């Protein structure tokens, strides 16, 4: 997939070295096709690391993707791990794009899960953006804390504090195998998690508008989809690189915390000195590819402004046909 990004974005050179096809705006304008417009609300403090992870995840189909990065204007302290010039050059604010329409949106996780949603200083801004996405975005993909936030705001699903941090790579099993979002998945697959809170399976199952597509005995519901595919909630971090959990673990060790959460199922023989096992990237790539293909590309309108006229339930019939209910 050619990803269309600013030619000066630092991630471009790294992706090109990894043999990932990225395209600058000048070259893309010579092609007589409309790229998919994807906006990423990046709430992670590690801005550039998250940029790379998501761009890698979006790079595995023949579709051309035009990526815009969005920041929370009401929480400037989150920019501490990215330069002011980087944020000014490569990020926009909601006020600048609120009249635009997008084929797809990704909302990342954020290290604020121990707070009540309403205590997060940019919660009101996030609520405005999530509400806006219902009429300005074809399909929205929520990751980790954003999945909990989206489930809470749109469907009233509560989050709960876990007895200890859930961190590691866990086994998951697929449900409703005919659903396009998990097409190509094995019966059992692995995915990383890193969080202090979770949701209860019963709260999701009792909401007729939500369907669990992948679950885990240890980590709980992993992939949840609202009818029609307009909203997708992923409670873990499929976009994580192989060293992401290692970086988190070593930061915790350096902080000399009283309790240092150890990532389960991540290191070879549970020994950090032996390095991590790369065990989830194939399914992670398939997840993002399926989302872009079936729930963005095949659902969106050619004229982006027509998204405003799409009913939120437009695709329920197609969804029910594709799910083994």
Catalytic residues: 144, 237, 239
Q: Distance between CA 91 and CA 73 in Å, rounded?
A: 10
**Cα dihedral sign, 75-305-301-227:** positive
- Structure tokens, 136: 């300005």
* CA-wise closest residue to 231 among 153, 122, 123, 309: 153
Q: What one-character-per-residue DSSP string does 6-73 give?
A: -TT-HHHHHHHHTT--EE-HHHHTTSSSPPEEEEEE---S-HHHHHHHHHHHT-SSS--EEEEEE--T
> Of all helices (H) and strands (E), which one includes residue 128?
helix 123-136
Q: Where are the beta strands (DSSP E) in the chain?
A: 3-4, 22-23, 36-41, 65-70, 91-92, 102-107, 137-143, 160-174, 188-198, 210-215, 223-226, 231-234
**Coil, helix or strand at residue 90:** helix
> Which residue has tokens 């709430």?
43
* CA-wise closest residue to 179 among 285, 57, 318: 318
Burial (CB count <10 Å: 0-12, 13-18, 19+), residue 234: buried
Q: Distance between CA 186 and CA 181 in Å, rounded?
A: 13
User: Is residue 231 a contact partner of residue 142, using CB atoms and an 8 Å limit?
Assistant: yes
Q: Distance between CA 188 and CA 185 in Å, rounded?
A: 8
Q: Distance between CA 13 and CA 23 in Å, rounded?
A: 11
């Amino acid at each position: 997939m050619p990803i269309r990004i600013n030619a000066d974005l630092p991630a471009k050179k790294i992706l090109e070295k990894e043999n990932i096809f990225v395209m600058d705006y000048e070259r893309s304008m010579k092609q007589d096709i409309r790229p998919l417009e994807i906006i990423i609300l990046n709430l992670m403090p590690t801005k550039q690391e998250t940029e790379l992870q998501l761009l890698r995840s979006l790079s595995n189909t023949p579709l051309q993707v035009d990526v815009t990065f969005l920041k929370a204007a009401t929480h400037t302290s989150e920019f501490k791990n990215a330069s002011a010039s980087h944020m000014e050059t490569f990020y926009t604010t909601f006020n600048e794009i609120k009249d635009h329409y997008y084929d797809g949106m990704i909302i990342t996780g954020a290290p604020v899960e121990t707070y009540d949603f309403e205590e997060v200083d940019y919660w009101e801004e996030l609520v405005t953006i999530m509400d806006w996405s219902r009429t300005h975005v074809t399909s929205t993909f929520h990751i980790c804390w954003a999945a909990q936030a989206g489930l809470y705001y749109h469907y009233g699903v509560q989050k709960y504090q876990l007895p200890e941090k859930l961190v590691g790579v866990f086994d998951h099993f697929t449900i409703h195998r005919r659903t396009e979002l998990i097409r190509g998945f094995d019966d059992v697959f692995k995915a990383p998690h890193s969080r202090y809170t979770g949701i209860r399976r019963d709260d999701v199952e009792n909401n007729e508008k939500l369907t669990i597509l992948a679950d885990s005995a240890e980590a709980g519901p992993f992939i949840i989809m609202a009818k029609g595919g307009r909203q997708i909630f992923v409670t873990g971090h499929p976009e994580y690189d192989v060293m992401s959990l290692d970086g988190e673990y070593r930061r915790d060790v350096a902080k000399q915390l009283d309790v240092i959460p150890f990532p389960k199922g991540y290191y070879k023989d549970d020994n950090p000195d032996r390095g991590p096992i790369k065990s989830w990237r194939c399914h992670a790539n398939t997840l993002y590819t399926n989302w872009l293909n079936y729930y963005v590309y095949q659902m969106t309108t050619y004229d982006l402004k027509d998204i405003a006229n799409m009913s939120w339930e437009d695709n329920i019939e197609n969804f029910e046909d594709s799910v083994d209910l």
